[in-house]
Amino acid sequence: MSRWQIEIARDDIAQAAIADLPDRAPGPGEAEFAIDLVALTANNVTYAALGQKTPFLGPDAGYWDFFAERDEPGRLPVWGFATATRSAAEGIAVGDRFYGYWPLASHTVLAADQIRGTGFTEVTPRRASLPAAYNQYARLKALGDHREADHYWWPVYRPLFLTGWLIADQFEDEDDFGAEAIIVSGASSKTALAFAHVMKARGDCPRLVALASRRSADFTAGTGLYDQVVDYDAIDTIAAEGKVALVDFAGNPAATRAVHERFGDALTVDMIVGITHWDAERGGGPLPGPRPIGFFAPGRMKKRSADWGAHGFRRQTEEAWLDFMPAAKRLTAIDRRSGAEAALAAYRDAVAGKVDPRVGVLIEP
């Protein structure tokens, strides 16, 4: 099948299938892209779990809105590279390569505006009210921190690293919320590893305590990024005095409750980042301690771009990314897979929680 897309049931993300992708020529202001290389990580499960609706994106928006109308199946957003194959958009030529947000498919047609040497903005009407950060597509040749030797790590880590870096930046900006220890739930996830790396690079960060499953405990300890690794069933053994913060990359309600009950008012912040445990039971009554708050990377990006200017923000993130690259390569091996069947299998593994923290899965459609 030369043109395909993965379609996902909007109300049951475990249900997914390969579907034919109609061949549609781009209209005025549009360009068609062949998707070259994208990653599938636990982060994509969060996109799917929040596909229908999430307050992060707006009062009536979800991640399905990026690539599907409301009466269509969900189409999973993924990060990576694509090449223009047909263009009716002045300023985008056949063969131009871009980094950005794509559907899990072989091809896509995007509406382009504000086309310039650095990239373009996607302006499909349903995306106009969605956060601007997701609608920016960067020309590969204009990326100041892209190195060919790092190419395969970009789809796997770049968006996740940026999220981790932004969380660490907020902690530093907020004096670590007064915490002497930070508990990291889902500590083996790639976003969590990026966060821990940036915190450790500061040199004066609070103690980092990793919550990890038995399956990932050895890997998590071996990263050298955490001061203590604790099983989810042993939260009551966490050695911490004074104030504590929770950064939740897993969205595991049982673990969240255990942390709140263990620390109560000594917990200064509970910051929710991911929902990889998308099928876990919710509820259980009010939590002791602070109310959980959501972290939304595009909002933090907007703040820091206003604080430092676009150039200042880009310079800081580029420097931090290049500093992280040796750690990323040490922590993660690349697993390249090709075609629709491989894409569907990788998606199903991610939804089933079978993501190996030691591996970055790449799809070459």
* Alpha helices for the chain (secondary structure H): 42-49, 153-173, 190-202, 214-222, 253-263, 297-331, 340-351
- Render 166-221 in DSSP notation, one character per residue: HHHHHHHHTGGGG-SEEEEETTTSHHHHHHHHHHHHHSSPPEEEEEE-HHHHHHHH
- At position 199, the amino acid (one-letter code) is M
Place of tokens 């099983």: 231
Count CB atoms within 10 A of the CB of residue 198.
Answer: 23
Chain position carrying tokens 């091996």: 333
CA distance 61 to 43: 18
d(CA 39, CA 44): 9
Contacts of 207 (CB under 8 A, 6+ apart): 180, 181, 182, 227, 228, 240
User: Coil, strand or helix: which one is 268?
Assistant: strand
* 97 neighbors 140 (Cβ within 8 angstroms): yes
What is the pLDDT at residue 228? 95
- Give me the tens of pLDDT residue by residue for the chain, a chain 365 residues long: 589 999 999 999 999 999 999 999 999 999 999 999 999 988 898 899 889 988 878 888 999 999 999 999 999 999 999 999 999 999 999 999 999 999 999 999 999 999 999 999 999 999 999 999 899 999 999 999 999 999 999 999 999 999 999 999 999 999 999 999 999 999 999 999 999 999 999 988 999 999 998 889 999 999 999 999 999 999 988 876 799 999 998 878 888 999 999 999 999 999 998 655 434 444 566 888 899 888 888 889 999 999 999 899 999 999 999 999 999 999 999 999 999 999 999 999 999 988 888 999 999 99
Q: How many residues are there in the chain?
A: 365
104 vs 45: CA distance, rounded Å = 13
Q: Which positions ≥6 away from 106 have C-beta within 8 Å?
A: 1, 2, 3, 4, 5, 21, 34, 35, 340, 365
CA nearest 257: which of 237, 236, 228?
236
In angstroms, the CA 363 to CA 344 distance is 10
CA 344 to mean position of chain CA atoms: 19
Q: What distances in angstroms separate CA 290 from CA 205, 264, 266, one per listed residue?
A: 22, 8, 9
What is residue 56's predicted lDDT score, i.e. its pLDDT?
Answer: 78
Instruction: Spell out the residues 6+ positions from residue 55 whose beta carbon is closer than 8 angstroms to its own.
Output: 294
Place of tokens 């595991």: 252
Residue 17 one-letter amino acid: A
Would you say 156 and 44 are in contact if contact means Cβ atoms under 8 Å apart?
A: no
Determine the 3-state secondary structure of 64 from DSSP: helix
Question: What letter represents residue 182's amino acid?
Answer: I
pLDDT of residue 280: 43
